[in-house]
Amino acid sequence: MKTKHLIKIAFSGLTGNKRRAALTILGIVIGITAIMLIMSLGQGAQNLILSQVQNMGAKIIIVQPGRQPSGPSDIAQSMSDSLKEKDLIALQKKSNVPTLAKIEALNVGGATASYENETYRMSIFGASELLQKIYNVQLTEGRFITDDDVKNRADVVVIGSKIKQELFGESDAVGEKIKIKSRNFRVVGIVKKGQSGFVNFDEAAIVPYTTSQQYIFGIKHFHHLLIEATSEDVVEQTLQDVQITLRNSHGITDPEKDDFYATTSESAIDQINTITTILTLFLVSVAAISLVVGGIGIMNIMLVSVAERTREIGLRKALGATSMNILLQFLAESIMLTAIGGAVGIFLGSSISFLTTIILTQFLGLDWPFSFPLSAALIGLAVAAFVGLVFGIYPAKQAAKKSPIEALRYE
């Protein structure tokens, strides 16, 4: 039997009961849609996080308190207060870290700002001028935090464009004072609308880190230390010097007992790639279960179809069709069902992912890139066809085994 004729007969068999065919492929559609959605959004999230890390530059080293989390049980250890002023002073000594160009102490939290009768809940960054360079923070007016602000624990603040709009409207904000934690802060700069990765500076306020410690968070430690090496070639050497200096500062002789962890941009990118890939594959494997369920549904429907079309099978065999012809016909119907379901699933998954990207970008302010995973689309179609083949073999064999005489007598 020619392939063209086989496809025509299989298509005719499917269109004989359109409602049943539509319900049959529903499981496949749901499975492929879920896989496409997960892989597309997963790739978009990965690209967003990587862009944030890459924007920080290849010369940046990030130091965080606590042990490096290796699982859910280690998350609490990352909430440590092990990075303190003495560590910052030790790292700033040229004899300890000769290749250190700049170091940034960073504290992050939340607070409510008020101006006259207006209030706004915002993120607070306790930082210094290096933050502007690392995150490429642009201002529409005013200035950024300076080293003098840090030294003097100045009550100054740089606010995001959204905070300015919510508190001041169209009025000028620079020079005015807003209240944070019952303390007045003078606005010295306005951040240009936009964000860096997941960091949305439109809704953030930046104050000197010394000010944030004493007057806002009430702490004597740092949440992060951001270190810039003199060049990309000496990043690894800088990392080693930082680790040795902090161990000496903390009296640690065994690296296994470090109460801090430092990562470079390159190592952070590798970790992000590994984590997001594993997470995506796990979610895809869960979504793929629906493909198996859909395949079982197709097998059941095909068995019902074989029973209902017994006389048709007998007539075809009486007219000269071989058992192989019958087997290929029903197998083609099964593969065609799953292939159609796969195509519809790819379209729906991509469309939903695109709409989700628009929502995340427009309404949540995230610069989330849309990603169409071509590999996922090709794998989805291949898997759908394979499911149709595997779960279609048994019904097709049952149809091919029927005797033409018994089939013609069937009622």
Q: Are 265 and 60 in contact (CB under 8 A)?
A: yes
pLDDT tens per residue across span 358-380: 877 776 666 677 777 777 777 77
Residue boundaries of the structural domains of the chain:
3-52+270-409, 81-258
Of residues 287 and 346, which shows the higher confidence score? 346
| Number of CB atoms found within 10 A of residue 380's CB | 26
Cβ-in-10-Å burial (0-12, 13-18, 19+) of 181 comes to: middle
Q: Any bridge partners for residue 358, and if so which?
A: none
217-243 pLDDT per residue, tens: 988 889 989 888 888 788 888 989 999
Q: How many residues are there in the chain?
A: 411
73 or 136: which leads in pLDDT: 136
What integer pLDDT is reported at residue 114 of this predicted model? 92
Region 187-211: mean pLDDT is 82
Is residue 73 scored above 50 in pLDDT?
Answer: no
**What pLDDT was estimated at residue 78?**
47
Question: pLDDT by residue (tens digit) across 11-27?
Answer: 666 666 667 777 777 77
CA distance 400 to 329: 9
Longest Cα pair distance anywhere in the chain, in angstroms?
100
Cα separation of 199 and 202, whole Å? 9
Question: CB atoms < 10 A from the CB of 82, how many?
Answer: 20
pLDDT (average), residues 326-342: 77
Note the pLDDT of residue 76.
45
Query: Looking at this protein, which amino acid is placed at residue 24?
Result: T
- Average pLDDT for residues 25-50, to the nearest whole number? 76
